[in-house]
Structure 1
Amino acid sequence: MTTRRKFLTTAGVGAAAALAAPSQIKAQAPIKWRLQTYSGAPLGAHVIKPQIEAFNAAANGEMEIELYYADQLVPTDELFRAMQNGTLDAVQSDDATMASPVDISDFGGYFPFSTKFSLDLPVLFERYGLNEIWAEAYGEVENVTWLSAGAWDPLHIFTVNKPIRSIADMAGLRVFGVPTAGRFLSRYGLIPVTVPWEDVEVAMQTGELDGVAWCGFTEAYEVGWADICNYALLNNVTGAWCGSYFVNSESWAKVPPHLQQLYRSTIDQSHYYRQVWYWGGEANLRVNGGKLEHTTIPKEEWDTVVKDAEGFWDELASRSPRAAKVIDIFKEYTEIMEKAGTPYRG
């Protein structure tokens, strides 16, 4: 009993001491990432900033992402290489604009007539197999991991002083735009011109550019291009821009699973935010914007452009079996939507 009483006494003292002076555990330094987006700051305030702010707040000091806008650290066409070599930990862009060395890169950004509405794009990825194809393609590239694709706005052409009311009116127009759609539209005489994103507004004011084939109404108004341009062509080349989130594979491997899941969840949140922001913005600004005169190429004439896209699709399908698989999915999806009719097509 004496021994037992002594044990209880000393144990109590030890426990009290432990409670009074807990061991000090040194906090691990937070993970720091640098992410650059394709977009300038005014647009980035909507297409990515809310996501990064949400992630940093929820990460609770364990990780912090520094956000950089178009061309701040590296030129946009060098985003892929900068991410691959670790200069950047993550990127938000489309495949074509950042020159991804994969055989499906042309389908990023604006691929002519592959979608009619913004909801088409996530359905193609989630329900028709594009998620698996993109993951497979980037799985063959060293040190880059593709995470997710989402929809942005439709593609319209905005011009400063030269309205487009026929296909012939495109001839000779110098426009800032995304690679794949620009290559397609060049067959009608449109001249794609590449300048840094921040220089687009000045280039239109000085006459270096006649307009932009880069975005929809929401962006044109948000970034100030609607203040420079006078005309908006209502015929759109596709219903949604296809943008993705990418990470440096080594950086991604250092992120613990719960923060990886948090990052993926905030990406999904960003996709949802943009889906609503663009869908509502496009309609409202067409009706209430007031800054742009709307023009239209007659349907009979525009139908020839839509028809021409079939040959463009087949041209890209011939590049690789995987590219052909993507085109087959686009064709299958288009056929289903057209047969479904209203509200999917019609």
Structure 2
Amino acid sequence: MTTRRKFITTAGAGLAAAPLATPALAQSTIKWRMQTYAGSALAEHVVKPAVDMFNKIAGDRMQIELFYADQLVPTGELFRAMQRGTIDAVQSDDDSMASPTDVTVFGGYFPFASRYSLDVPVLFNQYGLNEIWDEEYSKVGVKHISAGAWDPCHFATKDPINSLADLKGKRIFTFPTAGRFLTQFGVVPVTLPWEDIEVAMQTGELDGVAWSGITEDYTVGWADVTNYFLTNNISGAWAGSFFANMDRWNELPEDLQTLFRVCCDQSHYYRQWWYWGGEASLRVDGTKMELTTIPDEEWATVEAAAQTFWDEIAAESETKAKVVAIIKKYNADMQKAGRPYRYG
């Protein structure tokens, strides 16, 4: 895998830069390097359209060179590289890029914090998470630009999962906090470079993934190396963000900052409908994985365990307690609002 990864890194770096290159750039052109958590196939949807749009509009004034998962640095080192200025901007969740903040555990998939993708932007824009993230990242020299939702978190496995007992001993590629939560059900979390997952499934190093919804499983090739898709999920949407080195961000003229924000928002909007439609259509029309379901009464024990997990996280710091309180209030409000916000 090391050899394969080296090849991907070396060969992919040139490929990543090529589509974004602009001929005869002025000497004064601002140049940024951005790395995403996503591999090339997934990045075609979750970030590249926004970067292409930014580069087209900004023209000679600024260009962003996009790199895919692990091309410049491993995903787990993204934060430090951005903080140092080795990378100017990053698209990732807080959890997998190992941010040294009190909000890191809430990035990616915080168990059962959301039911739908719209929950994430509402939590950030209307329930106060934006202000908390801005404060936490400002402390460590990084600009948190904006957060958005991705897909829900489901298991895709070689063997069928029809009960909680079927999860025991399964070696699963997942996010750090999700893995921490799932260990109580016998799951063995495994950390590997994103580009190595397909091979690890084929060699038996992994039994499955709990990294995404079904849209990503098909898009990145994991549906070709797994046989079953569990319809129960541990979170309704992945929470990820765009970040930048604080000095690089402050150096930008206000209009380029605004343009960058607008392109990030376009990326968030694109993902809202791409994932929402894709999750449904691939469950209905997809042919590569068989759907399985853990009965609601049994899955309710997992949902109850999440509440205990929230309280454990809240006890770790004042900031974490504040975020958990917001998540609790938000979900209680949605439950009281009833259909279509919550039911059942």
Fold conserved between structures, TM > 0.5: yes
Stretches of structure 1 that go unaligned for 5 or more consecutive residues are: 1-26
Match of 2:143 in 1: 145
Once the two structures are superposed, the pairs formed by residues 134-283 of structure 1 within 5 Å of their partners are: 134-141=133-140, 143-160=141-158, 162-283=159-280
Q: CA deviation at 1:39?
A: 0.5
Match of 1:40 in 2: 39
Q: Distance in 2 between matches of 1:290 and 1:333?
A: 37
Q: Distance in 1 between matches of 2:51 and 2:138?
A: 25
Instruction: Summarize deviations over 1:236-287 as a string: whole Å, max 9, x none.
Output: 1010000011100111122111111100110001000000100010000000
Q: CA deviation at 1:145?
A: 1.1
Q: Distance in 2 between matches of 1:209 and 1:306?
A: 25
Instruction: Summarize deviations over 1:17-56 as a string: whole Å, max 9, x none.
Output: xxxxxxxxxx651000000000000000000000000000
Secondary structure at the counterpart of residue 151 of structure 2 = coil
Structure 1 counterpart of 2:150, one-letter code: W
Q: CA deviation at 1:309?
A: 0.6
Secondary structure at the counterpart of residue 156 of structure 1 = strand
Match of 1:29 in 2: 28
**Cα RMSD between the aligned structures?**
0.8
Instruction: Summarize deviations over 1:282-327 as a string: whole Å, max 9, x none.
Output: 0000000111111111111100110011110000001111110111
Q: Distance in 1 between matches of 2:294 and 2:322?
A: 32
Match of 1:294 in 2: 291
Instruction: Summarize deviations over 1:133-160 as a string: whole Å, max 9, x none.
Output: 101111211x211111000000000001
The TM-score with structure 1 as length reference comes to: 0.91
Stretches of structure 2 that go unaligned for 5 or more consecutive residues are: 1-25
Q: Distance in 2 between matches of 1:227 and 1:139?
A: 42
Q: Distance in 2 between matches of 1:102 and 1:136?
A: 10
Of all paired residues, the percent bearing the same amino acid is 63
Secondary structure at the counterpart of residue 39 of structure 1 = coil
Secondary structure at the counterpart of residue 42 of structure 1 = helix
The TM-score with structure 2 as length reference comes to: 0.91
Q: Distance in 1 between matches of 2:152 and 2:43?
A: 17
- Provide the aligned length of Structure 1 versus Structure 2: 318
Q: Distance in 1 between matches of 2:206 and 2:71?
A: 22
Q: Which has the larger radius of gyration?
A: 1
Match of 2:70 in 1: 71
Q: Distance in 2 between matches of 1:237 and 1:201?
A: 22
Q: Distance in 2 between matches of 1:171 and 1:42?
A: 31
Q: Distance in 2 between matches of 1:171 and 1:64?
A: 48
Q: Distance in 1 between matches of 2:232 and 2:160?
A: 13
Q: CA deviation at 1:131?
A: 0.5
